[in-house]
C-alpha cells in the first residue's frame, strides 16, 4: 500500500485549502485535494468582497493577528501567481462635526495596535476629498489606513489550481468525505469516490469544516452560518475603501465598506445576518435598502446596480479562527470566516510548520 499513500490530503479546494497546498508544494510531498463541489473556490471563497484587510477587531484575536501577517505576503504571492492585486488606502470616516473629537482617540488606538507596519493619517474633509473625490460633503473627517488591498479572487483561485496541477497536486472534485479513520501512521478517508489513504489530513472544508472535524474524530462545535449580502455597481468610481466610524466590534455584526474592485466596479457591503441553512438562501430588495441606507450618504452619487449577491461564512462557536492539531495526523481549520482571504498565507504557514515543512 506504500505507493498509494499520499503525504497530505487537503479537504476543501477553497482559498484556504489551495493556499495551504501552494505553501507545501516543492517539498517532495505527494498531495491530493478533495473537494465536494465540481470546481475550486465555489464555497465560502466564491461570495466575498475580495478585500485584503489591515484592521480586524478584536485586535487580540487570532484572526486579527493572522490577517496582518497574511496581508504582507500578498504582494509576493500575487506577483508569483500573476494575479491582479490593487493596493488602496482605507478611509475610516465620520459624517458629523460632533464626531470629529473621536478621530484622534481612534487614531492613537490604531497606532498602538498596528505599530509601524501600516501607515496612518488623520485628515479633515478637504484633505480626504483630495484623496477620494467621490466622497459626499456629509463626510467631515477621517483616518486613512494604508496597506489595504483588493484582489481578483477568481483569478487567484484559477491560477492557484493551474500552478498546483503543474506541480503534480492531484484533485478529486465532486467528492465528499464520509468518514475518517485515524491510526498511528495513516488516515483512511472514506469518500464518495473511494478511499484516500494519507499520512496527514488538513481539514479546510469551509462551511462544512465543523462536520468534517467530527468525522475525523474531533468535535470543535458547530458553525453558525452567517449570510453576507453585497451590491455591485458600475459608474461609481472610487479610489479607496470607505468605511464609516465607529467600527462595531460585536462578533455577530459586520461593518462593511464601499470597496473598489479589480474589475473597475464598486461593491457595497457585506451585511451580516445569521441563517439556518448553509446553502439554499436568497437575497431580496430589503438587503439592497440596508446597504444603500448605510453607505449611500458617504458618496456624491449613486451608481448603476449590476447585481446583488451574497456569500455564507462559517462563524465559529469561539468567535475566532480555530486551528486544531490535537491529533498528530489531523489539522482542523474551523471557523475561518472574514478575514480568511487575507489570512490564508499566514494560516498556510502555520500548517506547514506543524507538518515540519519550512521554507518555500
pLDDT at 77: 98
- Please tell me the pTM assigned to this model: 0.95
Question: What's domain 2-49+153-222+318-354's superfamily in CATH?
Answer: FAD/NAD(P)-binding domain (3.50.50.60)
The tens digit of pLDDT for each residue in 145-159 reads: 999 999 999 999 999
Does the 89-147+224-315 domain belong in CATH 3.30.9.10? yes
The tens digit of pLDDT for each residue in 7-65 reads: 999 999 999 999 999 999 999 999 999 999 999 999 999 999 999 999 999 999 999 99
- Look up residue 212 and give its three cell numbers: 468534517
pLDDT at 359: 67
Alpha-carbon distance of 67 to 61, in angstroms, equals 10
The tens digit of pLDDT for each residue in 226-271 reads: 999 999 999 999 999 999 998 654 444 457 999 999 999 999 999 9
Map grid coordinates 489591515 to a residue: 54
Q: Kindly state the average pLDDT of the residues 154-178.
A: 98
Query: What mean pLDDT is reported for the chain?
Result: 94
DSSP 8-state secondary structure symbol assigned to residue 247: P
Phi, psi of 189 (to 5 degrees): -100, 120
CA nearest neighbour of 352 among 64, 25, 69, 68: 25
Give the pLDDT band of residue 277 (cuts 50, 70, 90). confident
The tens digit of pLDDT for each residue in 199-234 reads: 999 999 999 999 999 999 999 999 999 999 999 999
The tens digit of pLDDT for each residue in 73-94 reads: 999 999 999 999 999 999 999 9
pLDDT at 220: 96
CB distance 66 to 74 below 8 Å: no
CA nearest neighbour of 10 among 279, 225, 221, 209: 209
Phi, psi of 148 (to 5 degrees): -70, 170
CA nearest neighbour of 254 among 243, 264, 265, 263: 243
pLDDT at 249: 43
Alpha-carbon distance of 125 to 138, in angstroms, equals 9
Would you list the domain boundaries of the chain? 2-49+153-222+318-354, 89-147+224-315
Amino acid at each position: 500500500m506504500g505507493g498509494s499513500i499520499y503525504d497530505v490530503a487537503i479537504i476543501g479546494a477553497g482559498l484556504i485549502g489551495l493556499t495551504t497546498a501552494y505553501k507545501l508544494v516543492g517539498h517532495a510531498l505527494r498531495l491530493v485535494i478533495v473537494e465536494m463541489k465540481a470546481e475550486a473556490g465555489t464555497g465560502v471563497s466564491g461570495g466575498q468582497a475580495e478585500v485584503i484587510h489591515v484592521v480586524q477587531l478584536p485586535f487580540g484575536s487570532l484572526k486579527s493577528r493572522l490577517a496582518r501577517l497574511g496581508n504582507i505576503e500578498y504582494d509576493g504571492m500575487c506577483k508569483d501567481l500573476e494575479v491582479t492585486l490593487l493596493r488602496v488606502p482605507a478611509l475610516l470616516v465620520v459624517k458629523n462635526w460632533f464626531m470629529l473629537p473621536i478621530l484622534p482617540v481612534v487614531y492613537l488606538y490604531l497606532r498602538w495596535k498596528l505599530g509601524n507596519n501600516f501607515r496612518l493619517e488623520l485628515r479633515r474633509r478637504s484633505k480626504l476629498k483630495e484623496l477620494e473625490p467621490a466622497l459626499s460633503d456629509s463626510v467631515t473627517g477621517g483616518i486613512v489606513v494604508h496597506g489595504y488591498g483588493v484582489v481578483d479572487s477568481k483569478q487567484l483561485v484559477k491560477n492557484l489550481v493551474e500552478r498546483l496541477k503543474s506541480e503534480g497536486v492531484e484533485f478529486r472534485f465532486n467528492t465528499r468525505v464520509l468518514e475518517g479513520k485515524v491510526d498511528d501512521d495513516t488516515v483512511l478517508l472514506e469518500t464518495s469516490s473511494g478511499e484516500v489513504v494519507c499520512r496527514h489530513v488538513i481539514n479546510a472544508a469551509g462551511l462544512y469544516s465543523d462536520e468534517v472535524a467530527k468525522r475525523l474524530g474531533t468535535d470543535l462545535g458547530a458553525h453558525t452560518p452567517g449570510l453576507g449580502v453585497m451590491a455591485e455597481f458600475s459608474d461609481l468610481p472610487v479610489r479607496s475603501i470607505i468605511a464609516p466610524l465607529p467600527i462595531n466590534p460585536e462578533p455577530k455584526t459586520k461593518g462593511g465598506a464601499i470597496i473598489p474592485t479589480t474589475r473597475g466596479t464598486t461593491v457595497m457591503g457585506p451585511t451580516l445576518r445569521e441563517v439556518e441553512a448553509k446553502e439554499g438562501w436568497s437575497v431580496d430588495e430589503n438587503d439592497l435598502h440596508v446597504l444603500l441606507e448605510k453607505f449611500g450618504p458617504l458618496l456624491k452619487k449613486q451608481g448603476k446596480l449590476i447585481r446583488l449577491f451574497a456569500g455564507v461564512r462559517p462563524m465559529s462557536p469561539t468567535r475566532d479562527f480555530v486551528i486544531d492539531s490535537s491529533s498528530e495526523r489531523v489539522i482542523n481549520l474551523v471557523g475561518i470566516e472574514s478575514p480568511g482571504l487575507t489570512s490564508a498565507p499566514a494560516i498556510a504557514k502555520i500548517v506547514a510548520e506543524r507538518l515540519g515543512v519550512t521554507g518555500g
